Amino acid sequence: MTQSRIQVVFFDAADTLFHIHGSVAEIYLQHAEKHGFRKTPESLAAIKSAFARSFRDAPPPVFAATEPAAIKQSERLWWFDIVHNVFYRVGMFEAFDEFFEEVFARFEQPESWRLFPETVEVLKTLKDQGFELGIISNFDSRLFSVLRGLGIADLFDTVTISSLAHAAKPSARIFHQALEKHAVDPDEALHVGDSERDDVKGAQGVGLTGVLLARGEGARPSSGTTIGNLNELLPLLSRLQ
């Protein structure tokens, strides 16, 4: 085991380890056109703006359901409300329900996502150095299929998602559940993600080291350490020994 005081490295998932191939707005528009949505020159920008607003206004993805089938249904309904709100703003169409089923399934397909170039090498290096690895994410249960399809599922010791934890970042509860799986104290763990609120402040709120991943954005202000890509995590962990 590494001699660093950090024993476990947690990661956010989407936009930290991997990203959408294309954009949400592009995928929505592609599938909506197939089901009767009338595209205009402004459609892509309108969908992008409406999605950002709908996603921001949505409640946390936390559900009372405990049975697997009920949890998946709750996840689906949560996303249905978001996508319905998008097209309520930009233009509803008759075959919306069929469109939603198709586009919801699309984001479960690994082909809809791309690993960042350094992800696999960094994860393997951390494993070789003796760190335990985990994911703490507000992604829903489709994440497991995505991780398997991208070939990185086996690199993680634990995966903690909001719909199963009954808590969403930045809630302390989801971080505590992840820590319990590794039987470590908060000061023995580090969490890296692309959100200052959810990842950095959420982690710091329970005593973890929080690291902000700001790809291509320069030095964004953060209450934690900022890195530009996952490669920068390796020397950071060395300094924390």
* Of residues 134, 136, 119, the one with CA closest to residue 230: 119
**Separation between Cα atoms, residue 158 and residue 161, nearest integer Å:** 10
With cut-offs at 50, 70 and 90, classify the pLDDT of residue 213: very high
Is pLDDT above 80 for 1? Answer: no
> String of b and e for 94-119 (b: at least 16 CB within 10 Å)?
eebeebbeebbeebbebebbeebeeb
Tell me the mean pLDDT in the region 91-102.
97
- Count of structural domains, the chain: 2
Q: What is the pLDDT of residues 126-148, one digit of tens each?
A: 999 999 999 999 999 999 999 99
Q: What is the DSSP letter of 225?
A: E
With cut-offs at 50, 70 and 90, classify the pLDDT of residue 85: very high
For residue 29, the domain's CATH number is 1.10.150
Would you say 167 and 177 are in contact if contact means Cβ atoms under 8 Å apart?
yes
**Separation between Cα atoms, residue 27 and residue 112, nearest integer Å:** 9
Return the SS3 of 86. Answer: helix
Percent of the chain with pLDDT over 90: 93
Burial class (CB in 10 A: 0-12, 13-18, 19+), 9: buried
Tell me the mean pLDDT in the region 152-162.
98
Tell me the mean pLDDT in the region 3-19.
92
With cut-offs at 50, 70 and 90, classify the pLDDT of residue 2: very low
In a domain, 107, yes or no: yes
Domain that holds residue 146: 8-17+116-239
Same domain, 107 and 213: no
Same domain, 100 and 12: no
Same domain, 88 and 127: no
Mean of the per-residue pLDDT values of the chain: 95
Residue 195 structure tokens? 């959100």
Percent of the chain with pLDDT over 70: 97
**Separation between Cα atoms, residue 71 and residue 236, nearest integer Å:** 37
Domain termination site, one of 89, 111, 133: 111
DSSP letters spanning 92-137:
--TTHHHHHHHHHHHTTSGGGEEE-TTHHHHHHHHHHTT-EEEEEE
Sign of the four-CA dihedral 194, 197, 202, 203: positive
Q: What is the pLDDT of residues 64-77, one digit of tens each?
A: 999 999 999 999 99
* Of residues 96, 95, 66, the one with CA closest to residue 81: 96
Domain termination site, one of 69, 93, 111: 111
With cut-offs at 50, 70 and 90, classify the pLDDT of residue 184: very high
Same domain, 67 and 167: no
In a domain, 2, yes or no: no
Same domain, 146 and 224: yes
In a domain, 3, yes or no: no
In a domain, 1, yes or no: no
Tell me the mean pLDDT in the region 201-230.
89
Domain termination site, one of 111, 136, 154: 111
CA atoms within 13 A on the CB side of 14: 20
Would you say 103 and 25 are in contact if contact means Cβ atoms under 8 Å apart?
no
Tell me the mean pLDDT in the region 10-34.
97
* Of residues 184, 191, 199, 226, the one with CA closest to residue 5: 184
CA 178, distance to chain mean position in Å, is 15
Same domain, 121 and 226: yes
